[in-house]
Amino acid sequence: MFGLPTFLQAILGFLLLIGPLVVLHELGHYLVARWLGVKSDVFSIGFGKEIWGRTDKRGTHWRIAAVPLGGYVQFAGDGNAVSQADDDKIAHMSVEERDHAFATQPIWKRSLIVLAGPVANLIVAFAIFFAFNAIQGKAVEVPEVTGFAAKSDARNAGVQLRDRIVSVDGNEIVSATEIAEHVLPYPGRTVELGIEREGRTLTVPVKLASQTVKDQFGNEGRIADLGLDFASPNVRLVVPGSPAEKAGIEANDRILAINDTRVTSFRQVRDLIMTRPGEKITVSVLRGETEKMLPVTVGSVPGTNEKGVKATYGQIGIAYGKIEKVGPIEAATMSVGQCYGIMRMMVTGIVQIVTGERSVKELGGPLKIAKYSGEHLSLGFDNFVWFIALISINLAFINLLPIPTLDGGHLAFYAAEAVRRRPVDAKGQEWAFRTGLAFVLALMLFVTVNDIASLLPIGK
């Protein structure tokens, strides 16, 4: 499945990723419960056999268990790890103990306690994005067309050079960096491009072709691409350990030429490099007012061409864009938008899988998360922390789904209780929780088998 170094990185990355996120999620439940006067009997990281544990002066038993795929807080009066009330246990409590039991609390308190876990994960992601935005600023590119790919759906639909993209499917576009979120997830769809041309506003429908891409680790994804270029060839960042870094290319360099070919857009740079895997090239850059000629050995990554045939492409590990510094308010606003955008893409992905637009093979489980954790860890601190933010939003999103045993399932029960003015009967809750548990276990089994099938060279 992995080479040995990558396997060790995957184990380390997975533990560094899941451990803190689970702790912070459960701390959200615990701290809000404690604030609202609800006693916690057990705080567990992981499930199954206890590896370590101790009980504090408040009577909470803190434990680490053998299976590190989650955790739970069991409150006073709970019958199990998913906070089903134990009526017999509650009946034998003193009046004071009942006051601190979870099940005896009003709906608003129970809802806040349950909601606190996913909110904690969203706060983690927000904090990470805020730090990146405040330190690094934002990438900005004027959404004016400067070039086309060799095969461009937008050009075929009538988009011209110097057209300015002002909207995609009604979503306002200020920077070219905003276009991707409205295009990449929708291969095969037709999008409406709003463009400005010589003082006129036009609408151009573009059917997006499906494109299969692979990264340097062989991870495959299906995306859409307009085939437009907006970017000047300014280097925004250099991937640690990449051919570009080894050659001495730096952030804020402007690429002037690849070998003897002058370039004016980043797509030209990408296209010239993609066709030269493993070759030695000369990259001319402008740094300040000095032009430098840097020899670069192009890296090789696997991919798939437009005919679906496996191919090898060149890559040197740079990203484009101009950077603008932002203040704390704008950094916070950007962070909220990033969290929302990622959750919206998750919803889109699930809908596409349900409707058959995407294959269920794109679903990932713990093995893929471990693999990706190791890969992002190998790319450096920034990449790994960014991946933590992404998975933190995933955890929040999944836990908010209205599935019994998950936080969203509890919230659904409380909503029903608020409407009916009485709780769902014990038999109904028991049936729902058993069904929810069976669904979650079946899903975990499916994605794990899916992971094994995609990570092992079976049929490849």
Residues 294, 190, single domain; the answer is: yes
pLDDT digit string (tens) for 175-187?
888 888 899 888 8
Instruction: Count the neighbouring beta carbons within 10 Å of the beta carbon of residue 146.
Output: 19
Residues 307, 267, single domain; the answer is: yes
* Euclidean distance between CA atoms 127 and 389, whole angstroms: 9
Q: Which of 303, 324, 345 is the last residue of a domain?
A: 324
> What is the phi-psi region of residue 45: left when phi exceeds 0, alpha when psi lies from -120 to 50, beta otherwise?
beta
Contact in structure between 269 and 255 (CB atoms under 8 Å): yes
What confidence score (pLDDT) does residue 457 get? 52
Residue 201's nearest CA partner among 236, 243, 173 is 173
In a domain, 51, yes or no: no
In a domain, 186, yes or no: yes
What mean pLDDT do residues 42-63 have? 93
**Token pair of 381, please?**
């601190």
In a domain, 44, yes or no: no
Strand 290-297 to 138-140 pairing: unpaired
In a domain, 334, yes or no: no
String of b and e for 58-86 (b: at least 16 CB within 10 Å)?
eebeebebeebebbbbbbbbbeeebbbbe
Residues 148, 118, single domain; the answer is: no
In a domain, 187, yes or no: yes
Contact in structure between 339 and 129 (CB atoms under 8 Å): yes
Q: What is the DSSP string of 52-87?
A: EEEE-TTS-EEEEEEEEEEEEEEETTBSSTT--B-H
**Token pair of 306, please?**
């437009």
In a domain, 331, yes or no: no
CA distances in angstroms from 270 to 255, 260, 416, listed in the order given: 11, 15, 54
Model's pTM, two decimal places? Answer: 0.81
Residue 24's nearest CA partner among 55, 10, 45, 38 is 45
254: CATH: 2.30.42.10
Rounded (10°) angle between helices 381-399 and 107-136 = 160
Residues 146, 261, single domain; the answer is: yes
- Run of H or E including 426: helix 426-455
* Euclidean distance between CA atoms 63 and 43, whole angstroms: 6
* Euclidean distance between CA atoms 251 and 118, whole angstroms: 36
**Which residues lie below 8 Å from residue 323, measured CB to CB, with a gap of 6+?**
136, 137, 138, 139, 140, 236, 252
Torsion on CA atoms 51, 55, 61, 65, rounded to nearest 10: -10
Q: In whole angstroms, how large is the CA radius of gyration of the chain? A: 26
pLDDT band at 82 (very low <50, low <70, confident <90, very high): low
pLDDT digit string (tens) for 205-254?
999 888 777 666 767 778 888 888 886 788 878 888 899 999 999 988 88
Residues 114, 240, single domain; the answer is: no
Residues 173, 312, single domain; the answer is: yes
* Euclidean distance between CA atoms 430 and 245, whole angstroms: 58
Residue 334 phi, psi (nearest 5): -60, -40
- Run of H or E including 119: helix 107-136
pLDDT band at 41 (very low <50, low <70, confident <90, very high): very high
Residues 170, 271, single domain; the answer is: yes
What confidence score (pLDDT) does residue 310 get? 73
Residues 299, 406, single domain; the answer is: no
What confidence score (pLDDT) does residue 459 get? 41
**Which residues lie below 8 Å from residue 190, measured CB to CB, with a gap of 6+?**
205, 206, 207, 208
In a domain, 183, yes or no: yes
Give the range of the structural domain holding residue 161, as residue numbers without chain letter: 140-324
**Count of structural domains within the chain:** 2
Residues 274, 307, single domain; the answer is: yes
Return the SS3 of 334: helix
Residue located via tokens 């409406």:
192
What mean pLDDT do residues 192-196 have? 94
Q: Which of 269, 294, 324 is the last residue of a domain?
A: 324
What confidence score (pLDDT) does residue 319 get? 81
> In this model, does residue 154 exceed pLDDT 60?
yes
Q: Tell me 325's DSSP state.
A: -
Residues 154, 301, single domain; the answer is: yes
> In this model, does residue 150 exceed pLDDT 60?
yes
Contact in structure between 24 and 121 (CB atoms under 8 Å): yes
Q: Which of 324, 359, 377 is the last residue of a domain?
A: 324
Residue 80 phi, psi (nearest 5): -160, -175
Residues 122, 261, single domain; the answer is: no
pLDDT digit string (tens) for 258-290?
998 988 778 788 889 988 999 999 999 999 889
* Euclidean distance between CA atoms 339 and 237, whole angstroms: 22
In a domain, 218, yes or no: yes
Residue 115's nearest CA partner among 125, 107, 126, 104 is 107
> In this model, does residue 407 exceed pLDDT 50?
yes
Residues 318, 214, single domain; the answer is: yes
pLDDT digit string (tens) for 304-342?
665 656 778 888 988 876 778 899 999 999 999 999 999
